[in-house]
Amino acid sequence: MMRIILLLLLLVPPLPLLAAPPNVLVLHSYHPGLSWTDTLNTGIRETFRAEMPEALLWVEYLDTKRNTDTSYLSLQAALLRHKLAESTFNLIITTDNDALDFVLKYRDDIFRGAPVVFCGVNDFAPEQLRGQKDITGLAENPAFAETMLAALALNPGTKEFVVIGADQAITDLLTDRSLRALEQQFPAIRFTYWNNLDARELRTRLQELGPGQIILIHGVMRNEEGVLVDYRGKNLFLSTHAGVPIYGFWDFEMGTGCVGGKMVQGQTEGERVARLAMKVLGGADPGAIPVNTQTPSRYIFDYIQLQRFGISEKALPKDSLVLNQPARFYQIDKRYIWTATAGVAVLLAALAMLVSAIRRRQEAQAVLRRHKEQLEEAVRARTEHLRTANDELEREVHERIRAEGDLRKARASLEIEVDRRTRDLRFEIEQRRLAEAHIRDREAKARALINAPTETLLLMDQAGIILDINETGASRLGRNRESLYGLSLYALLPETRAERFRQAVDNVFSTGEVRSINEYGEERDLDLRFYPVFDDGGQVTRVAVFMADVTGARRMARQIMLLDKINSLGRMAAGIAHEIRNPLTGIHGYLYAMDEICDELPAEPASVLRTTIAKIRKAAGKMESVIRRVLDFSKPGTPQLELLDLAVPVQEGLSLMLPTLRKAGITVDTEFSPVPAILGDRMQLEQAVINIVDNAARAVRNNAGAKNIALRIVCEEDRLSLRIADNGPGITPADRERIFDPFYTTASDGTGIGLSIVQRIVADHSGTIHVGESPAGGAEFRLEFPRPATEHK
């Protein structure tokens, strides 16, 4: 039995090993050096040092005041995930909104579900913690209304509150919302908000402020060089350039120009959250501790600013703390006066005792001096014979000791120098290793980023030298990627395009702003963007070029717009045709009645009248023909699709036009390659050919020399192409954009409907139509039709 007990005692670890010190992570939203963050951190550290010194504090900063872009926190998460990979915390303390939101988002991923205690959270709502457990903290509710009331009481005649702050960081945005919500409580006061102003504009506005205006401040600002300035630096800037009182809501605003207000004290908040954290570390369930929404605040004022604006201390709220106040004798606590008086009395008594002791000591020293003189005389005689021999020995010993001392000093100095240089060398090696690893990591990320897009992405300098380019861009330039490094992009492009690129790049380098170029061509439409790349000094050193192919999107938008216009104009044309046909029917009826009247008239008047009737009937017929064409445009009908050889409707339409073409002296060349059959409507395709050939005949009729029209049918990959070209004057690029618009024509005798009908017929056949320049310098229309599905298989 005794052996078993001894064995159990050996297996039980010592108590100090069981009670490991708690490991606590303090995560601040902002950066070190920011007065609010520093006072919070001081309160937390000093409280733990005094009440739980064994706790190990690990402090991290998210630095969200100086980094506001959306991708920053994801990068910060990756850094902390790597940095804290092997660390486990008993508790996490967060300060301000950004840190709490960050921990809630990455709590399981990075912080392993550790309990959380927060403070400094503005505009807290219980819904923020829905679905979370083991979390409690202190909400922050500054005394905005009380500060405003105090400011109005101390500054009668105030008409306007000028709120100078920001609304980009989450804390600044919530503060801005809270201040705006209080406007209805002060109906006689006008609220003006100056958010996110640069230093130059803010200085100009501050100099315009005058009586009846008060400044309310929150948030930080950037100086004229763009550097983030602390709260106190901001207040110093404001008080220097403004001649009106400044009031704030946090104690870090004091000391550089702020009059005061009812303020939240940062160190106090740090002490409160530290004690709440120690309570949780002591075993309390954080989920059972309700979030404290009461924020202790105190009226704090600056004596220097009170004197500056003539504000009496008697007008201050009760129990106000006045900083920088000169001390007055009657204000000193009586306990200190009595303590000082008692101290002076004790010192006087000690001085009297000391004087008495000194006198007794002087008398004793006189006696000792006499005995000493006697003893010295005896010793002098005794030691005189040893002095001569001893002097030589002392000189030898002194020289040896001095030599040994010099040797020890030289050896110690050498060891110190070797140790210092060894430490410096190790530090330099470690820093270089970390720098190289960081550079390799950045290069890998940059390489992955530049190779990710499916569009062209390249990096170049101001001279146009290609520094990097992705595979898509290299393919578009028709070269190997490695062969492009060091080449000038301007030398690889046509002269006109290279000049446009050079102007855009020079503009980016001179202004530091993004520039765009749109290139719309016959085959491809491109959208190019030039982005500046800055160095650490804010200077543009590189330009990133992103080239996107928007051909499909632009042409689809154009097609949709045209189809919508055709449908709208078609409905209008059908209505007009219907309205015209009704009177035409009446005209025809009257003409038949007039024919019957002519039968009853004498021959000569009847002949004249019949001639007039014939002219009217002919004009009415022309109107009827126009109406039929309008109706054909508005309702072309559903195509009756069948498998057919594209050459058949082309030849039939051409045969109908040949007599007219020969009479006009126009030659026609045809080249119909054997191609697969397509699904098409024979009559509609024939009509499309007639309309285009008729337009070509009109274009070449005024040629002084040869007049030629060429038709070709070719097979191109998965599409069949019908090309109709002429050697006329051609179509200008500006007219090509509108040539298919209904009722748009450049001919004096045209209606502008024919090509619109052709485009609609081609669209009904799931095809496309393009217009360009023919080899002979005239116009060329390309009608492209898809091959049937069976042909692809």
Tell me the one-letter amino acid at 609: L
Closest CA to 133 of 100, 104, 93: 104
Q: Is 785 found in the same domain as 685?
A: yes
User: What residues in the chain have per-residue pLDDT under 50?
Assistant: 1, 4-18, 330, 791-793
Q: Please name every residue paired with 57 in a beta bridge, in sequence order, or none if there are none.
A: 24
The domain boundary, picked from 140, 158, 191, lies at 140
Any domain includes 97: yes
Residue 371 gets which letter from DSSP? H
400 part of a folded domain: no
* Per-residue confidence (pLDDT) for residue 5, from 0 to 100: 46
Structure tokens at 767: 């095809």
In a shared domain, residues 481 and 571: no
Considering 509, 524, 549, which residue would you say is the last residue of a domain? Answer: 549
Distance CA 145, CA 262 (A): 9
* Same domain (yes/no): 213, 253: yes
Identify whether 469 is part of a domain. yes
Task: Kindly state whether residues 176 and 214 are assigned to the same domain.
Answer: yes
pLDDT given for residue 393 in this prediction? 83
For residues 621 and 650, state if they share a domain.
Answer: no
**Last residue within a domain, chosen from 599, 634, 669:** 634
Q: Are residues 497 and 594 in the same domain?
A: no
Domain for residue 148, yes or no? yes
Domain that holds residue 56: 21-140
- CATH assignment at residue 666: 3.30.565.10
The DSSP line for 384-413 is HHHHHHHHHHHHHHHHHHHHHHHHHHHHHH
Confirm whether 14 is domain-assigned.
no
* CATH classification at residue 509: 3.30.450.20
Contact (CB, 8 A) for 628 and 620: no
pTM above threshold 0.75: no
Question: Amino acid identity of 656?
Answer: L
| E-strand stretches of 160-200 | 160-165, 190-195
715 and 737 co-located in one domain: yes
374 falls within a domain: no
**Residues 158, 252 within the same domain:** yes
* In-domain check, residue 134: yes
170 with 98: CB under 8 angstroms?
Answer: yes
- The structural domain count of the chain equals 5
Cα–Cα distance measured from residue 221 to residue 341, given in angstroms and rounded to the nearest whole number? 52
For residues 179 and 209, state if they share a domain: yes
pLDDT at 550: 66
Same domain, 652 and 624: no
**pLDDT at residue number 713:** 92
Q: With respect to residue 70, please indicate whether it lies within any of the assigned structural domains.
A: yes
Q: How far apart are CA 758 and CA 737, in angstroms?
A: 16
Tell me the three state secondary structure of residue 522: coil
Measured distance CA(142)–CA(145) in Å, rounded:
9
**pLDDT tens digit sequence for 741-778:** 766 676 666 666 778 788 888 888 888 888 888 888 88
- The CATH number covering residue 82 comes to 3.40.50.2300
Closest CA to 572 of 396, 753, 405, 704: 753
Kindly report the CA angle at 162 between 156 and 168, in degrees rounded to 5? 150
* End-to-end Cα spacing for the chain: 90
Q: How far apart, in whole angstroms, are the C-alpha atoms of residue 156 and residue 309? A: 12
- Tokens 């992570």 locate to 25
- Residues 603, 476 share a domain: no
d(Cα 405, Cα 395) in Å, to the nearest integer? 15
Say if residue 175 is in the same domain as residue 122: no
